[in-house]
Amino acid sequence: MASLTELPAWKALQQHYDSQGKALKLADLFAADATRFQRYSSEFKDAATDTTLLVDYSKNLVTDETLDLLVQLAEATGVASLRDSMFNGDPINFTEHRSVLHVALRNVSGWRAFKDASGQSVDGEVRDVLGQMKRCADAIREGVWTGYTGKRITDVVNIGIGGSDLGPAMVCQALTPYQGTGPNAHFVSNVDGTHLAEVLKRVNPETTVFIVASKTFTTIETIRNANSAKAWFLTQASDPAHVAKHFIALSTNLKATGEFGIAPENVFRFWDWVGGRYSLWSAIGLSIAIHVGFEHFEALLRGAEAMDRHFAETPLRENLPVLLGLLGVWYGDFFGAATHAVLPYDQYLGRLPAYLQQADMESNGKYVTRNGERVNYATGPVLWGEPGTNGQHAFYQLIHQGTRLVPCDFIAPLRTHNPIANNAHHEILLANLLAQPEALMRGKPLEAALAETPADLAPHRVFEGNRPTNTLLVRGALTPAALGALIALYEHKIFVQGAIWQINSYDQWGVELGKVLAKNVLGELRGEVPLGEREHDASTAGLVAYAKGFLEQGH
């Protein structure tokens, strides 16, 4: 394929941006079209899981022509054929020779047969592991699986990092209302001993199961934390035979889990075609299944499956992940927006921005195309966010009056799990959710500011407005299925953008160098490698010597 910016579809978009796009005014667009909301919003519905998600993209700086041109870009960049390759199990993660088949993990209804790159069916193995997860989750939740003193399990501690932490941590928090009598879920990710130490203060070894979650089972943070957790456990349980009742591993590396000492029946496998940041649907989701029950974990999968089908089968112009992906390209590559904010108005979704940060930034934070060339356009945005309304009292100032364009996604379920004070909290929350996109779009003109303040102060109260947003509303409560659909929507949006930018969204070589250099420094700090033997720049050498000097004084 020709370079992205050389494609006629790209050039047409650039020309459209220069001639009209950059001057579009949301207020004018709404004034000119009374049906804009109806035409530029769409309900995703899945009857099987009773899920409805409204996606309103009408407050974007686009016209029919813009959307047509964006869809033409998706066509010209082969989004649909790459999507089909993913669903077919082709090794689209070509730098690691792997299929990208997280979609096969939520094929609960069996809507299609999934095969890996070698043509082998994966569906049977996926079902087997799901069965193993169900048996484990049921046994723990029903008190059949007990600790070494025969007590019921009250807590699970997931030890993992990145994709082996953020997905399950985000989902467990989001689905807290479904915990019932199930165990509490804790998450230890950071190698900072504080993280583990603080969790261990809250749990009892007799009633705690540790889940060591690591695709590779070589990640230094996870292995260090797992070893320390095991040592802590053994100081109390004393007999190493008790480890079998209290340690589970989730990994593709069965050799390493055995070496760590985890009983084979406590190992839950998954496959190299599951990317770490797309793995919450696999055995990595075991903490979810234990915390909220397997039936709710399965409902999460079903919701994601419904979104997979929508993505696979819906024409590009009505395809929600495609539309959201294209809008992101429009802002990032033509308007120069460097960031994208995800703003959930639901406390249970507090970790969604952090989760999406990895999903998006580790996938699309790349400057080399699939052809090995450096891009001459912007790729993945800096993704960030916080739950509303907290953000309103913190960083929204910059979104409203700052110099940078920050496209935002506002997300909320229309029903709360906690309708306290006669639903008053939720009404206030929703009112704020609905008002912020309006304020960002509408702004406040100078005349209005002049009506309330002297002329010299009026400019400070002017809001330019015209700031684009999407609003995503779950029609009901945030159920497991609705959450599954929402996460899959973002996963596929990321896919679409990676396809357009011609990058491989499924490797992450950019994280490797830091790991190697950290090993070097660790050797120096521990005195295993003399200072000066490793080559460092003067700053790093100075800092290493400074830290080592302090540590050697026994502080």
Residues that bind ligand F6P (CB under 6 A): 161-164, 214-216, 219, 222, 276-277, 362, 508, 511
Q: Which residues contact 135 (CB under 8 A, 6 or more apart)?
A: none
Neighbours of 125 (CB within 10 A): 15
Calculate the alpha carbon distances from 66 to 63, 308, 492 in Å: 5, 26, 21
Q: What is the rounded CA–CA span in Å between residue 359 and residue 239? A: 40
Q: Which residues contact 142 (CB under 8 A, 6 or more apart)?
A: none
Q: What are phi and psi of 349, to 5 degrees?
A: -95, 25
Strands in 339-344's sheet, in edge-to-edge order, are 41-46, 51-56, 469-474, 408-413, 339-344, 382-384
Q: Which helix (H) or strand (E) element contains residue 38? A: helix 36-39
Asked if the peptide bond before residue 540 counts as cis, ω within 30 degrees of 0, the response is no
Toward ligand F6P, which CB reaches closer, 116 or 221?
Answer: 221
Toward ligand F6P, which CB reaches closer, 455 or 513?
Answer: 513
CB of 160 to ligand F6P, least distance (A): 6
Toward ligand F6P, which CB reaches closer, 252 or 392?
Answer: 252
CB 66 within 8 A of CB 16: yes
CB 278 within 8 A of CB 162: no
Query: Active-site residue numbers?
Result: 362, 393, 515
CB of 446 to ligand F6P, least distance (A): 49
CB of 453 to ligand F6P, least distance (A): 51
Toward ligand F6P, which CB reaches closer, 162 or 381?
Answer: 162
Q: What is the rounded CA–CA span in Å between residue 208 and residue 376? A: 52
CB of 224 to ligand F6P, least distance (A): 12
CB of 521 to ligand F6P, least distance (A): 17
Beta bridge partners of 187: 158
Q: What residue has token string 């009506």?
A: 451
Q: What is the rounded CA–CA span in Å between residue 290 and residue 154? A: 10
Query: Nearest 5°: CA angle at 340, between 339 and 341?
Result: 125
Toward ligand F6P, which CB reaches closer, 158 or 222?
Answer: 222
Toward ligand F6P, which CB reaches closer, 168 or 387?
Answer: 168
Q: In Å, how far from its chain's centre is CA 514? A: 22
Toward ligand F6P, which CB reaches closer, 114 or 217?
Answer: 217
Q: What residue has token string 């050797």?
A: 523
Helix axes 123-141, 294-313, angle to 10 degrees: 150
CB of 354 to ligand F6P, least distance (A): 13
Q: What is the rounded CA–CA span in Å between residue 306 and residue 6? A: 36
CB of 496 to ligand F6P, least distance (A): 20
Toward ligand F6P, which CB reaches closer, 4 or 289?
Answer: 289
Q: What are the tokens at 253?
A: 């590396």
Q: What are the tokens at 331?
A: 């802002």
CB of 358 to ligand F6P, least distance (A): 7
CB of 326 to ligand F6P, least distance (A): 26
Toward ligand F6P, which CB reaches closer, 177 or 365?
Answer: 365
CB 291 within 8 A of CB 153: no
Residue type, 396: Y
Q: What string of DSSP letters covers 373-427? A: PBPSS--S-EEE---TTGGGGTTHHHHHHSSS---EEEEEESS-S--TTTTHHHH
